[in-house]
A = this chain, B = another copy of it.
């Protein structure tokens, strides 16, 4: 675990890799304002009692397309100049980023292509088609995915909008923390889930720029703890095939997001699969909120006390609420 800002080398690397600063996040907030929800912040006395902390849940499951991804996608799409935008955008995603990019493109009135593995569930494909994007199916490998994206870009001139390895996307994701810090006074910490690191990068840049007193934590399943290992080691570590139910977090960092985390994050916390299910149940039963497994991972870390925040005021980013309600995890053990 690296203490925040302890590595001048990493900070230098971060600027070489281009990361947004607070100004860029503020610009993103202004740019995407008309296209996204300023989501509410919820509290829950029962969960506070359970964790011994005062938790402030930033409800990105109530965001457009049901996930924070709408923020980054909108910022990227609305950052494009007119001539570039006209040719459309393309990405690869089997999840929320694909739907978010489709949504953003429709808001701007430009075409979007989403490359998905041919084994992607019908419900996820429908989620992308709902916003009028074109789906390009490919074999479920990294190579097939990248070559399909390249093909689309070459054929159409569309701009690739990466799910997280893009400063415009990171700046957009950082706007959730901006709103949270603006809404809730005196936060001691913010915790966000970490997959590819786009949300956590944006969150940590916003939080540390606005206040040196706010600790920033990442949260991931112990079954997909590549971010914790990468963070400790200082280089992107591979993720072995994994079985976590938090499907949104089965992604490794990029050198860019790792640099942001090393510069701005205090710790990456992990949790068990059982804790994820328990946190989801709590959010369904006590908060009455439908939260996807990835969105429950920060609370899972808190109830498992892999982070001790007792007595603190903690912002918790609920990343999304898209899941198959016919197969809830407590029913498919």
CB A98 to nearest CB in B, in angstroms, measures 18
Residues of B within 8 A of A62 (CB): 42, 288
* Contact digits for A296-333, partner B, Cβ 8 Å, 1 yes 0 no: 00000000000000000000000001000110101100
Q: How many angstroms between the C-alpha atoms of A42 and B61 in the bound complex?
A: 13
Residues of B within 8 A of A66 (CB): 288
* Contact digits for A51-83, partner B, Cβ 8 Å, 1 yes 0 no: 000000000011000100000000000000000
Interface core residue of A62, A66, A290 (most chain B CB under 10 Å): A290
A285 at the binding interface (Cβ < 8 Å): yes
Q: How many angstroms between the C-alpha atoms of A130 and B150 in the bound complex?
A: 58
Please, which residue of chain B has its CB at the minimum distance from the CB of A40? B40
A281 at the binding interface (Cβ < 8 Å): yes
Cβ A321 vs Cβ B281 within 8 A = no
Q: How many angstroms between the C-alpha atoms of A61 and B290 in the bound complex?
A: 13
Please, which residue of chain B has its CB at the minimum distance from the CB of A44? B62
Cβ B321 vs Cβ A325 within 8 A = no
Instruction: Choose from B281, B290, B326 the contact partner of A330 (Cβ within 8 Å).
Output: B326
Q: How many angstroms between the C-alpha atoms of A285 and B130 in the bound complex?
A: 14
Residues of B within 8 A of A325 (CB): 281, 284-285, 328, 330
How many chain A residues touch B (Cβ–Cβ < 8 Å)?
18
Residues of B within 8 A of A281 (CB): 325
A289 at the binding interface (Cβ < 8 Å): yes
Q: A40-B40, A331-B331 are in contact. Are A288 and B321 (CB under 8 A)?
A: yes
Q: How many angstroms between the C-alpha atoms of A288 and B288 in the bound complex?
A: 9
CB A292 to nearest CB in B, in angstroms, measures 9
Q: A40-B40, A281-B325, A325-B281 are in contact. Are A288 and B330 (CB under 8 A)?
A: no
Residues of B within 8 A of A40 (CB): 40
Residues of B within 8 A of A289 (CB): 288-290
Please, which residue of chain B has its CB at the minimum distance from the CB of A280? B325
Residues of B within 8 A of A285 (CB): 290, 325
Residues of B within 8 A of A290 (CB): 284-285, 288-290
Cβ A61 vs Cβ B326 within 8 A = no
Residues of B within 8 A of A330 (CB): 325-326
Please, which residue of chain B has its CB at the minimum distance from the CB of A327? B331
CB A317 to nearest CB in B, in angstroms, measures 15
Residues of B within 8 A of A284 (CB): 290, 325
CB A44 to nearest CB in B, in angstroms, measures 9
Q: A40-B40, A331-B331 are in contact. Are A288 and B61 (CB under 8 A)?
A: yes
What 7 pairs between A and B have smallest CB-CB spacing? Answer: A288-B321, A288-B290, A61-B288, A284-B325, A284-B290, A62-B288, A290-B290
